[in-house]
Structure 1
């Protein structure tokens, strides 16, 4: 039986990355049910990839985990991708939807050149960009590879439940190098929120113990449940916004340090309950709007149709 191998899945604690892995697996199972499915983790790819070379035939499909690590910020992940691309020159390799962000530093420019040199040699490598800025960057920097724009793969999931009783506000905020919201801005948003909500919860979706593959779905179900029980989510995380979208939870998205949110928000412009603001001074107006407007629940058909077209028409994998 043919094999499909998903390489670079996380075992760390970031629920956004784990949601990507869950959606990737569901996508693969839907589109390639006749293939045997295997995963290799991001943490072990450096050693494991050499051990599996003899077990991956030329007709095996290789998928590379998507997300926001295509660049020099998380360099060990990019180095693992390069290794896979070099070791399997005759396999079809598909990079699940990514945000591309190589910094303008000396290191960023050098690492981009390394990736361009390796990627350009692989004639069956397909790059998926999850928003328009990355799409244009990939087309510019990787002209020898096929580049396709899609939404983030997590939009493939639908975790809505219209029967759930909602109460209160859920903050999903960053506390890492990508945070741009200042303490003063956060305090202002909290002050405004307290005028409208008596119950306010906080969740850091990149904190806690590592998540093993066997626990991934359970941990994510717990997170999706928290989202479904909230009247409103305020977040500066892309997957905070996406979790809100797929659970039909009204959301105010704050800007992030790169184009992850600003460019990705276009994928959700048909969802009236997802609102993006550049200035925290606009938060009260959006809270009032979202609390007083009725919205249609999330429908993932737009994402499914896009990925069907990618596989059947643009990549043409039967």
Structure 2
């Protein structure tokens, strides 16, 4: 008889636990549905059942290769929304520090994604500055005083300028931190690079005095450097690059006329490892196989709207982003050594090959952290020389992936 009672209790306990689990699951679904209603730009989970005629993001790649990359993109978008929803909880107004007022189209893509995310969270951008020359302490103080401290935050523009390679950008952030010692600071995802330990320690000492600084790093290597330098006193996150919040951008590719087979987007600035002198290699390797191409960096030009002296930050950011995306999309495939050419090509479904031979390894570090699911034929690969890039491109052409 005692055994029978124990068994009954056992089954009663199992039934109770199962009921609780089901109720918690249903509650979770309700919470998710409510969040979607409150934030129409919030994220949807990847669909389990897709119609057979659904178009692949990478149209000519094997379906499984494209599908794996599409899942990788969705995952990063969800991670970004989840992290920043928590980071900006209760915040209704922000000052965006470090607008990228230069022709680097990748940094403009970052800006557009930051604005999209803030808008999705219902947060108003009430102040923007690009550099020390247009930053006004008094103007920003007046705006801050008009808001309750608990609903106001300073948002640092993301990208690859955390460190001593681009000292002007770093100095602007540090100026704002010193001017607003009681402020709440939230960084969008960054890569970090210091050539000298002393400079890193100087920044770490300043940040240690301001515990309300939250830093976000977009690759494992940067995160580990951040943990060593800032982890004791500041909150740190490892998140994808903010541009992945845009999600699928295939509509840009689909609406852009093709100009040539391959764009070789080789950076001109000091971060680059790829050299424009390799053009003779491309001519020999590509022209002989009837592949049309162009070699160019997107730093060399700006859209007409940007050159208007009355252009706002929003006009500049959106125009540069769109022109950069269309620049990539006007070719069937891309060879590049720029991280955001890699990211935007991924989001638009453009087959591309990344050349990485720079000391920073910024692209490889990001790819290995977040984009392994997009490493496949007809999607993207990373190589360490222009020769390997040409060989891979010709293989893809033979396999009809481009």
TM-score normalised by the chain length of structure 1 = 0.82
**Contact 2:264–2:293 (CA under 8 A) maintained in structure 1:** yes
Kindly name which structure, 1 or 2, has the bigger radius of gyration based on alpha carbons.
2
**Which of 251, 263, 267 is the matching residue for 1:170?**
263
Alpha-carbon distance, 1:148 to partner: 0.9
The answer for the alignment partner of 2:341 in structure 1 is 240
Runs of 5+ consecutive residues of structure 1 not aligned to the other structure = 296-318
Equivalent residue number for residue 19 of structure 2: none
Q: Which segment drifts farther, 220-229 or 170-179? A: 220-229
Q: State the alpha-carbon separation in 1 of the partners of residues 92 and 229 from structure 2.
A: 32
Number of equivalenced pairs = 289
Matches within 5 A, 1:177-196: 177-182=270-275, 185-196=278-289
After TM superposition, the structure 1 = structure 2 runs for residues 23-172 of structure 1, keeping only pairs within 5 Å, are 23-31=113-121, 33=122, 35-44=123-132, 47-56=135-144, 57=147, 58-59=149-150, 60-103=152-195, 108-143=196-231, 144-157=233-246, 158-161=248-251, 163-164=254-255, 166=258, 167-172=260-265
Superposed displacement of residue 231, structure 1: 1.2
| Inter-CA distance 131–16: structure 2 relative to 1 (3 Å threshold) | same
C-alpha displacement at 1:198, in angstroms? 3.7
Describe the shift of the 1:27–1:190 C-alpha distance in structure 2 as closer, same or farther (beyond 3 A).
Answer: farther
State the Cα distance separating 1:44 from its structure 2 match.
4.5
Q: CA RMSD in A?
A: 2.4
Checking the alignment, whether the CA contact within 8 Å between 1:70 and 1:100 is kept in structure 2 is yes
Q: Is the 8 A contact 1:92 1:125 kept in 2?
A: yes
CA 1:201–1:183: 2 relative to 1, 3 Å: closer
Report what 2:361 is aligned to. 259
Classify the secondary structure of the residue corresponding to 2:294.
Answer: strand
- Does 2:371 match 1:268? yes
SS at match of 2:335: strand
Confirm or deny: 8 A CA contact 1:168 1:197 kept in the other structure: no
Aligned counterparts of 2:361 and 2:181: Cα–Cα separation in 1: 31
Q: Which has the higher helix share?
A: 2
- Say if 1:189 and 1:151 are closer, same or farther in 2 by CA, change over 3 A: farther
2:279–2:295 Cα contact (<8 Å) kept = no
Pair 1:231–1:91, CA change in 2 (3 A): same
Q: Distance in 1 between matches of 2:108 and 2:359?
A: 21
3-state SS, counterpart of residue 373 of structure 2:
coil
Q: CA deviation at 1:183?
A: 5.0
The reply to whether residue 281 of structure 1 matches residue 387 of structure 2 is: yes
Aligned to 1:225: 326
> What secondary structure is seen at the aligned counterpart in 1 of 2:191?
strand
Cα deviation for residue 204 of structure 1 reads 1.5
Pair 1:17 & 2:73 matched: no
Q: Secondary structure at the match of 2:188?
A: strand
Q: 1:191 to 1:48 in 2, by over 3 A?
A: farther
After superposition, the Cα gap between the structure-2 partners of 1:101 and 1:192, relative to the gap in structure 1 and judged at 3 Å, is same
Matched residues in 2 for 1:171 and 1:49: separation? Answer: 43
Q: Is the CA contact 1:69–1:78 (under 8 Å) kept in the aligned structure 2?
A: yes
